[in-house]
Chains A and B, each alone.
Chain A
């Protein structure tokens, strides 16, 4: 991997996380402690995080945290073992290496080590570093929090929220491969505005590698408006409804589909949402509405991720579902080696983009005779991982639509539904936008979906 020019602020002392040179020097020291031959690999995540949290309209904590997470992996012949530490002095590193070598003695053969992974790859250079994020200091964060609280407090509401900016480096340094290092930043901002009597609640949030791409003022307005408009909800009967899902609500469901693009070996083993029958996956078959394409391009300006995996595989552009047809499933290196006679796993970073359409949420509402508008889902869990049946609850704003208009705020509902059913019951799609998904960026459209299954009324607000 070509050495990247270091971001300007990284050069300032004291460093808030380990640089590429420091990671490489650390790895060189570690490798000298290895005994018995074989290979040594260090996977390092070294980070600084600046945080600001508030509740009941007052800042409750501002913090600055730093840490290193080192995973040291030793492999000899076909066995491998790893150990974790956050210390970087010689004694700690040597002790960690010894622990890994001790564990190695017990390990059976691992097919992952059959072939030498040291092949030259071309790694992408996604947009994942922002000086603006790294430069957002404690006083700027405090000022931002105050500005976000202000509108809620003036309206007599209670705001609780969180801002986090992070600067980090991720490294993979192997005795048998080229050193990899990528500096990256992450930023997130989210808030919940509640009525002091607890009769209404609104939420808004966004994440990006770049603090400058998060419009805090717009989020504050949105959370406040949702809170005000959601007050004093009335109960409605659970049942099947046409739903208009805002992008965040779509993400809360579709991320479960994306997680299951993993592990082709399981898919072909027969018990998996993307298994057709034993030993056959649904690759090549239609699994969603033809208007649905789910893909990931790490070079997309809003979908950047660290361009290598913990085992050094390059992150590549991928299309998982193409116009409704399942086209790719991820697999690990073991699968590649044993089934495909290939050296390379196919990673799933969980970052994704879902195709959309041109219908605005307003138009979706205007064309709905009776339905529900959903802000987001919460407390989602699997009912049946095989059919991808989920349960969870709506949160922070649910409204009844009657004859093309929002008629009233309604009480939250529990749903029992599969996101695969959702992707096959789409009536309209809106323009995709970025959602709150810290560390794993996602771009998702709003959807109008028919026959969405709500199974119980809940009285939590």
Chain B
């Protein structure tokens, strides 16, 4: 008998722990690319149901089970480092008298399914001895058998290592030989995650999700050209980042066409005089990358409902939007031209799924409407917390599909969906915003750090330029912005148009134990008035 993972589906934990197959047996499957059964294999569903049966028999009023199988491969061509990783997991969540229990492990075996089902219920029951707690799960459309795959043109795991390395290395060689003194940095990583979800309500869905992370940037390698060896001018390509796409994301990006444009910018930049920062209030234009970063650190984090209600108080913190029911529909969080939407169906965006980790099919929703707080990010339990507001306004008490976990080893919790700023009506681009600036500051690639309520922040990095009569006249050294989120968003005076919309990858960490989730932010360049510019390195 060949012991493969497929047989594991039928074997017990003992076999999993002690499997010591003679090598000649295993050698048969030497060149099979996929060693575990694909998530669509008919054996997966009965396996998942074993966990639900065990949870139900042990007394769960509701239970769900997730199976995940994750492959990742990363390339660091400069050091010729290629690293593969694989993780399989199963996690069972059970509800008893309003209390949740969760159990997870790495083995996809029938014994483990049953053990985890029982274990999750045992945890829920132990908690349920406490004071009463009510959980109302938002409505769900049950999908009995669904399957979905991130639309990708080329599965990156089917592309040979040689092809990827050659391509990345080629970009580097091309850039560095065409532009002596310039260094090019490239890197790439791929992930494929297969996942199954089943619940006692009858949902069974499977998905295969892809993600590609890629970076390309250029900088001058010549010490004499730099003012400060610690802060060389680095120009990243705007064409690459993180996206729910395949190998085509890198292969089809017109990087060679972009390189001369980046080079022209780089040369213009280092010819600019360097000025020390003059602290004060300025009109500031941010590029789409900076707006995306600010949005992720402020409004996106602050509209996580669990955070707003205090469930995250002991971890990442709470939110300045801390009275959801009182603030919804009335609280101003930005200028009237600010509208922000959440959506887990945007093609190519990192949080895009067909069903979330509770089996909910997400729909687009509006977080901020014309500058007013309109909604929060929710799970099924979270939707219940806002039932009063939804019912009063004739809206369904339904999850926005924000339940998520990096793998089945982790329990699900509310994580940000893809979030986008609605672009301005006029066809305005970054250059137009800069041209209209008589005197002010342009900041590109701004990143910011905030506090534990995501309200007060300071920029962390970014390239600052002095603008006079619509032109860059100097680089500003050591500058930063200091802001209070609602004030900053209220000072928004102009937004780029639809053609200037860019999607940027973002990540957020929350929970105990901490876990990270990925999402995409759609942002346009923007202009703000009276922004506080500080000298970042100056002490009090």
Contacts and interface: CB of A to CB of B under 8 A. Distances in A.
Interface of A: 14-15, 18, 22, 25, 29, 32-33, 49, 51-53, 55-68, 81-92, 94-96, 98-100, 102-103, 106-108, 138-139, 141-142, 145-146, 158, 160-162, 164, 190-192, 194, 198, 201, 203, 238-240, 271, 378-379, 381, 383-384, 386, 389, 391, 393, 395, 412, 414, 416-417, 453-456, 458-461
A164 B512 CA distance: 9
Interface in B82-103: 82-89, 91, 99-103
Contacts of A164: 512-513
Given A59-B130, A142-B129, A84 B456 contact: no
Contacts of A100: 84
Q: Classify chain B's interface size.
A: 35 or more
B105 A412 contact: no
A167 to B, nearest CB: 14
A84 B101 contact: no
B23 A33 contact: yes
A203 B314 contact: yes
Given A61-B100, A239-B540, A83 B105 contact: no
B264 interface: no
B80 A191 contact: no
Nearest to A80: B81
B476 interface: no
B312 A55 contact: yes
A160 B80 contact: no
B86 A96 contact: yes
Nearest to B106: A86
Interface stretch (B118-126, B191-199, B463-471): B118-126
B314 A56 contact: no
Contacts of A67: 89, 104-106, 409
Interface string B14-46: 001111110101110110000100000000000
Given A240-B540, A456-B458, A146 B105 contact: no
B484 interface: yes
Given A59-B99, A92-B35, A456-B458, A393 B4 contact: no
5 contacts: A64-B120, A83-B83, A90-B20, A145-B127, A461-B453
A226 to B, nearest CB: 13
A94 B318 CA distance: 46
Given A86-B88, A459-B484, A460-B455, A56 B130 contact: no
A96 B72 CA distance: 12
Contacts of B119: 64
B265 interface: no
A95 B23 contact: no
Contact of A416 (B17, B310, B314, B539): B539
A160 B88 contact: no
A64 B103 contact: yes
Nearest to B82: A103
Interface in B445-484: 449-453, 455-456, 458, 460, 482, 484
A81 B80 CA distance: 10
B268 interface: no
A453 B539 contact: yes
Given A85-B85, A108-B79, A453-B540, 16 more contacts: A55-B312, A55-B313, A56-B309, A65-B410, A67-B89, A84-B86, A92-B5, A107-B80, A138-B123, A139-B129, A160-B312, A379-B452, A386-B230, A414-B456, A416-B539, A460-B452
B386 to A, nearest CB: 15
Contacts, number: 259
Chain B interface SS verdict (over half): mixed
A379 B451 contact: yes
Contact of B314 (A63, A103, A161, A454): A161
B322 interface: yes
A67 B21 CA distance: 22
Contacts of A271: 229-230
B536 interface: yes
B103 A63 contact: yes
Contacts of B315: 162
B452 A378 contact: yes
Contact of B456 (A94, A96, A456): A456
Q: Which 8 A-B pairs have the closest CB atoms?
A: A55-B311, A460-B453, A62-B123, A453-B539, A90-B21, A458-B456, A84-B85, A63-B102
Interface in B294-317: 306, 309-315, 317
B365 interface: no
Nearest to A387: B537
Nearest to A83: B84
Contacts of B537: 383-384, 389, 416
Contacts of B20: 25, 29, 90
Nearest to A457: B456
B289 interface: no
B153 interface: no
Interface in B414-455: 449-453, 455
A85 B86 contact: yes
Contacts of A145: 127, 130
Contacts of A391: 449, 458, 536
B265 to A, nearest CB: 25
B256 interface: no
Given A85-B86, A391-B458, A455-B539, A91 B3 contact: yes
Nearest to A48: B105
Given A60-B100, A378-B317, A379-B451, A139 B86 contact: no
Contact of B126 (A62, A192, A460): A62
B64 to A, nearest CB: 14
A460 B85 contact: no
B130 A393 contact: no
Given A62-B102, A62-B124, A160-B311, A91 B13 contact: no
A91 B26 contact: yes
B320 interface: yes
Contacts of A138: 101, 122-123, 126
A416 B452 CA distance: 17
Nearest to A18: B17
B314 A191 contact: yes
A393 B451 contact: yes
A154 B230 CA distance: 54
A83 B86 CA distance: 9
Nearest to B448: A381
Nearest to A163: B512
Contacts of B484: 459
B141 interface: no
B104 A103 contact: no
B148 interface: no
B70 to A, nearest CB: 9
Contacts of B85: 83-85
A36 B101 CA distance: 48
A372 to B, nearest CB: 12
Nearest to A33: B23
B225 interface: no
B230 A90 contact: no
B487 to A, nearest CB: 11
Most buried by B among A59, A68, A103, A271: A59
B282 interface: no
A223 to B, nearest CB: 9
B88 A106 contact: no
B538 interface: yes
Contacts of B19: 88-90
Contacts of B234: none
Nearest to A138: B126
Contacts of B102: 61-65
Contacts of B323: 198
Nearest to B410: A65
Given A91-B26, A94-B26, A103-B84, A455 B540 contact: yes
Given A63-B411, A87-B5, A412 B451 contact: yes
Given A86-B86, A89-B3, A192-B314, A65 B104 contact: yes
Nearest to B229: A271
A63 B131 contact: no
